[in-house]
Chain A
Amino acid sequence: MKNAHPLVQTEALGLHYGRKPAFLDVSLAVPRGAITAVIGPSGCGKSSFLACINRLSDLLPRCRVEGSVRIGETEVFDPGTDVVALRRRVGMIFQKPNPFPLSIRRNLELPLKEHGMRGRAERDAVIERTLTDVGLWQEVHDRLDASALGLSGGQQQRLCLARALALEPEVVLLDEPCSALDPISSGVVEDLIVSLRGRYTVVVVTHNLAQARRIADRVAFFWVQDGAGRLIEEGEADQVFGDPRDELTAAYVGGARG
């Protein structure tokens, strides 16, 4: 896949916690409709990088961002940018499934209502469609009003995905979505991510190189240099895994380091 139509583009992006930089100088183009995997050892700033794309960085304590992020025509860190609308365009899934302590239905309803969907029938249709999309409808349609906390970890993660997809985002960010799940649920969620290809622009952080190999169209490799995370190499998945240009990348994907 060529990187001709980047939807998300970062320019010299960096993020600091207080004085300490988490990652610096990341310029990355994320192509529309593709799955981009961000790989690298833990602590190299992958989660912090994702937080810049939907400006969740606003909520992180003592955190400062430099550089720029553009999504389509929107300048993410422009003071005039409507953060609420931005976050509607950019869905996010966290490492630990985080359904709200509400019923399954309320989990989906809450963001839909917030974003102006007033009609009950319309909402119910969206709920059924997105739950079906994540393969959860069969499992939960008869207990939509039960607490979401009663679901298994894998089901919770799929509910979170449904909750994000219900808002019809353009970009979906996933931060190690499978690493807190058992192998079977992990496989189910991985298949779901693959099914997003084409319809959504996906950025997925993963520790699991085999998984990245299986699902990614493009790969961005982060590594800590001089106390801050950096983007070492980025390109087509086949190229990064099969013929890495940087020797750090070669060592990492070859399993020699990290």
Chain B
Amino acid sequence: MSTARRPSGRSRQWTSDRLLVWTLRGCGVLTGAVVALIAVFLVVESFGALSGVGLLRFFSDPSWHPSAGAAEGTFNLVPMLLGTLLTAAGAVLVATPLGLFSALFCRVYAPTAVARPYRRLIELLAGIPSVVYGFWGLVVLVPLIARFRPPGASLLAGVLILALMILPTIALAADAALSGVPRRYLRGAAALGLGRWATLSGVALPAARSGIATGVILAAGRALGETMAVLMVCGNVVEMPASVFDPVRTLTANIALEMAYAVGDHRSALFVSGLFLLVLVSGLVLAAESIERRKVVG
């Protein structure tokens, strides 16, 4: 190796490293910009309806008939908002105990030979596409419910299918949180002669609380944002449900159903509902994050 080669090598490396760093920064900027772009486009597209119709009328108009435009049409999103909240809340209520028990099953109750395949099964459940859940709900679950209480396509069907879909999120988060419980806590409980459930409810679950809560919140976000499954099983009638057997339409289903032909203020109103969703879900994500952070600090 001759020393004469060094200077040329030096400037080449120097520039290529600079180039690399700037390329990577560019990637970071572009990636970070996606969220901003989404927000910007939703706001810009919503602008027509927000200024023409006004935010208030989305809650106070008598009904949802938006295709006539801002002046003649009506823009009440409340039934859809309610549909979204009810399906999501129901799903979380059903899935949280099931997910939690699933995690306890894997981590505590099942013998290793059963726990391993069960965890794999939960992972597989997480990977099944929502459209497959929706389709199965449509051809199996909805007719089943219809046998007891027609029409079958209902809030209940939506809740059950959504619960199935978000269960893995909760189960896997709870499983991870339980595995993070320091063993000295458990040893301490054992030293006190506590029974299994006493140890779980008194020591392990409280210690895993924040991890489980994060999982539940993220699952709620998924449920709020889910489209295909609820679109296929909820009946999509724009009305306030009187019971769990009544059909509902969620915000997401509403967008999916009407986007194809919506124009003008109608299209813009759909973007407003997208904006609602984005705000709701981002709020949940940030809440989950702050729980995580508090755990790290506290």
Give residues in A with beta carbon < 8 Å to B: 82, 84-85, 88, 112, 114-117, 167-168
* Chain B residues in 8 Å Cβ range of A112: 1
**Cβ–Cβ contact A82 & B1, under 8 A:** no
Contacts of A82 in B (CB 8 A): 10, 14
| Interchain residue pairs with CB less than 8 A apart (9) | A82-B14, A84-B9, A84-B14, A85-B9, A115-B5, A116-B6, A116-B9, A117-B1, A167-B1
The interface residues of chain B lying within 8 Å CB-to-CB of A88 are 6
Task: State whether the Cβ of B290 lies closer than 8 Å to any Cβ in chain A.
Answer: no
Contacts A85-B6, A116-B6: A168 and B1 contacting too (C-beta < 8 A)?
yes
**Interface residue range, chain B:** under 10
Known: A114-B13, A115-B6, A116-B9. 5 other contacts (CB 8 A): A82-B14, A88-B6, A112-B1, A115-B1, A116-B8
Residues of B within 8 A of A85 (CB): 6, 9-10
The docked-state distance in angstroms from the alpha carbon of A168 to that of B10 is 17
Most buried by B among A82, A88, A112, A168: A82
B1-44 interface code vs A (CB 8 A; 1 in, 0 out): 10001101110011000000000000000000000000000000
- B1 near A84 with CB under 8 A, answer no
- B8 surroundings in chain A (CB, below 8 A): 116
Can you list the 5 inter-chain pairs with the closest CB atoms, starting with the nearest?
A116-B5, A116-B9, A82-B10, A84-B13, A117-B1
Q: Which residues of B contact A116 (CB under 8 A)?
A: 1, 5-6, 8-9
Bound complex: CA of A245 vs CA of B85, how far in Å?
80
Q: Which residues of B contact A (CB under 8 A)?
A: 1, 5-6, 8-10, 13-14
In the assembled complex, how far is the CB of residue B241 from the closest CB belonging to chain A, in whole angstroms?
56
Residues of A within 8 A of B6 (CB): 85, 88, 115-116
Cα–Cα distance between A84 and B13 once the two chains are bound (Å)? 8
* Residues in B whose Cβ lies below 8 Å from that of A114: 13
CA distance A88 to B9 in the complex (A): 12
Most B Cβ at <10 Å: residue of A85, A114, A116:
A116
For A123, give the chain B residue with the smallest CB separation: B1
Docked pose: A223 CA to B182 CA in angstroms:
38
Residues of A close to B9: CB separation below 8 A: 84-85, 115-116
Contacts of B14 in A (CB 8 A): 82, 84
Nearest-Cβ distance from residue A84 to partner chain B, whole angstroms: 5
Give the complex CA separation of A116 and B2 in angstroms.
9
**Distance A55 CA – B14 CA, assembled complex (angstroms):** 16
Chain A residues, Cβ within 8 Å of B5: 115-116
Give CA–CA (A167, B13) in the complex, Å: 17
List of A residues within 8 angstroms of B13 by Cβ: 84, 114
Distance (Å) between the CB of A242 and the closest chain B CB?
41
B16 to chain A, nearest CB (A): 11
Chain A minimum-CB-distance residue to B6: A85
Which B residues lie within 8 Å of A115 (CB)? 1, 5-6, 9
B196 to chain A, nearest CB (A): 43
Residue of A nearest to B9 (CB): A116
CB distance from B6 to the nearest CB of A (A): 6
**Cβ contacts under 8 Å, A117 to chain B:** 1
A217 to B294: give the CA distance in the assembly, Å. 55
Min C-beta distance of A108 to chain B, whole Å: 13
A8 to B110, CA, bound (A): 64
Set of chain A residues within 8 Å of B10, measured between Cβ atoms: 82, 84-85
Question: Once bound together, how far apart are the Cα atoms of A167 and B1, in whole Å?
Answer: 8
* Chain A residues closer than 8 Å to B1, beta-carbon distance: 112, 115-117, 167-168
A88→B13 CA distance, assembly (Å): 13
The CA-CA distance from A183 to B150 in the complex, in Å, is 82
Q: A5 to nearest B CB, angstroms?
A: 20
Shortest CB-to-CB span from A19 to chain B, Å, is 20
Please give the distance in Å from A33's CB to the nearest CB on chain B: 19
- Closest partner residue, chain B, to A167 (CB atom): B1
| A84 proximity list for chain B (CB < 8 A) | 9-10, 13-14
Taken together as a complex, chains A and B put the C-alpha atoms of A112 and B6 apart, in Å, by 12
Taking CB atoms, residues of chain B closer than 8 Å to A168 are 1
* Chain B nearest Cβ from A28, distance in angstroms: 27
Q: Chain B residue with minimal CB distance to A168? A: B1
Q: How far is the CA of A88 from the CA of B5 in the complex (A)?
A: 13
A117 to B5, CA, bound (A): 9
What is the distance, in angstroms, from A124's C-beta to the closest C-beta of chain B? Answer: 14
Determine how close the nearest CB of chain A comes to the CB of B250; give it in whole angstroms.
47
CA A167 to CA B3, docked complex, whole Å: 11
